[in-house]
Structure 1
């Protein structure tokens, strides 16, 4: 088969479409013929040499895919060769075939085509596990999403609205904010021109956000704490703004607030399987009904992964970027 390889860390040109050995489905795994994968920020970090795959996982980038089951490994039941699926991966999505732990498989939702389904697993599992399973967003609460026009952001907006929350977003520029509004965002904040803490307080009568989904990390830590409501929960899922910051524990105590930080890629298989099962139970019906939809900016042939990475790094897109085999 062919896959995108990274011989040496570097820029987008480090991504090379090359012939590689076929994967084999091990115990509890299925082999998937990949129809499409999607580009995530983690793929860029891996390309740059800052985010190695977990031990034992594929060394090729790609944290999600869609396709058809080509073979079943030992101990697998409930699936058949030819089934159309999408999957959460620890790596290997940028390839023509990938071996997937059976607990990380999902059926392609009704009403979603096979290629577009590749835009779902990583963002849905990330949002559901952090915003709902960990932070416990409830109907009537306010969610602040940083990077509202990203793949994560566009999914977070829709899922939060589906459960009856108010959604505030930050994004760069009126076009991205307009798209967030179309998806259901109630409070639109241009981080280039506005102070998100002041804007959020004004929009909530001074209360702030009950839950904040943050991709920035250190750069936003103090302001996120300011923006939290009493009993608020801050979920950090990215470090685009750095890894070290000073935290005012007094302010955290005064608000009786909580800060969590999670990643998905390196979690044990049983934890990933539990998240995937929750997504299938709670989110897949929303997708099938059309209340929640994948947002896809565009698709590139997989061999053109370098161009897809350049597009992501330019931050001109809204939603997901796909790679098709």
Structure 2
């Protein structure tokens, strides 16, 4: 292995122009870690928030952006027995993905599904880990229930639509254009709601006979919080995973009490390796077979060379994409 590698560094808080290609030492895998020669990395909105100065990496994580990679294992740290050099893996990481080499906790790696190239594989970890833990673990979605996902055309949204539909839920989604709404329907949404033209509360109430939906996955926040509460059915659950609007709202607890609602949320990046390993085990059991069969798949909008990471961030923040934006090394 070389001593140095190319990597994309955040030179300081700011816009996409603060991303620079630099030379960095190749990381060495610690105990229970593997070193991956990165072939592709995913771009996610938390990368943009980190670049802008609003989402620092957790203690001990790389300061380089990038939360998911795919590639070949080239070295193992002490204690790693489930992987060997040469294995093709896709991995969830807490940082460091925008580079030629990335260290990853061994339990957070999954095998690349048969028939997948590395770009497609790298589009899996962040969204599938996030959707599984929030929709099926925290959200407790069951077959026959109704499910609304906001941002249905995003990487998270396109994944949530497919998995919820596959596991037997009625799926609704919001999106900001006719093209994005069409994409949501093609992926399995029963109805896609253009939030620029329709009130999602009224639409889901009509679609559910006035009851509301059983589960909402939200990454918008702000005024959506109160509207989500109105759109939920009795015993409904709201899972908050991000906020594009403000995280602070005034809220009347009365409807929550009357409808016996569950209001929860989570972040993935700061969670322990053990917690992420449990999600990986669930994905290996329930989702990898679906990926391998083609029953579900990551939706990829754009693939750019890693040297054009700034352009990838510009596209992410313009919100014109449908699905994932990827960097190829």
TM over 0.5: yes
Q: What pairs up with 1:224-263 in 2 under 5 angstroms?
A: 224-263=228-267
2:10 to 2, 6, 10: 6
1:103 to 107, 115, 122: 107
TM-superposed deviation, 1:219: 2.5
2:168 to 164, 168, 171: 164
Q: What pairs up with 1:292-303 in 2 under 5 angstroms?
A: 292-303=296-307
**SS, match of residue 113 in structure 2:** coil
TM-superposed deviation, 1:2: 1.0
**SS, match of residue 8 in structure 2:** strand
Q: What pairs up with 1:54-69 in 2 under 5 angstroms?
A: 54-69=58-73
Q: TM-score, normalised by structure 2?
A: 0.98
CA distance in 2, matches of 1:127, 1:285: 16
1:147 to 142, 147, 151: 151
Runs of 4+ in 1 over 4 A off after TM superposition: none
CA distance in 2, matches of 1:96, 1:259: 40
1:32 to 28, 36, 49: 36
Report Cα offsets for 1:92-128 as digits up to 9, x if no partner.
Answer: 0001001111110000112321221000000000000
Which residue of structure 1 lines up, in the alignment, with residue 225 of structure 2? 221
Which residue of structure 2 lines up, in the alignment, with residue 121 of structure 1? 125
2:192 is the alignment partner of 1:188: yes
CA distance in 2, matches of 1:198, 1:144: 13
2:25 is the alignment partner of 1:21: yes
2:41 is the alignment partner of 1:52: no
TM-superposed deviation, 1:258: 0.3
CA distance in 2, matches of 1:222, 1:208: 14
Q: TM-score, normalised by structure 1?
A: 0.99
Report Cα offsets for 1:61-118 as digits up to 9, x if no partner.
Answer: 0010000001011110021101100000100000100111111000011232122100
TM-superposed deviation, 1:202: 0.8
Which residue of structure 2 lines up, in the alignment, with residue 132 of structure 1? 136
- Structure 2 unaligned residues grouped into runs of 5+: none
**SS, match of residue 299 in structure 1:** strand
**SS, match of residue 89 in structure 2:** strand
CA distance in 1, matches of 2:225, 2:82: 44
CA distance in 2, matches of 1:289, 1:12: 37
2:310 is the alignment partner of 1:306: yes
CA distance in 2, matches of 1:320, 1:174: 19
TM-superposed deviation, 1:268: 1.1
2:187 is the alignment partner of 1:197: no
Number of equivalences: 325
**SS, match of residue 174 in structure 2:** strand
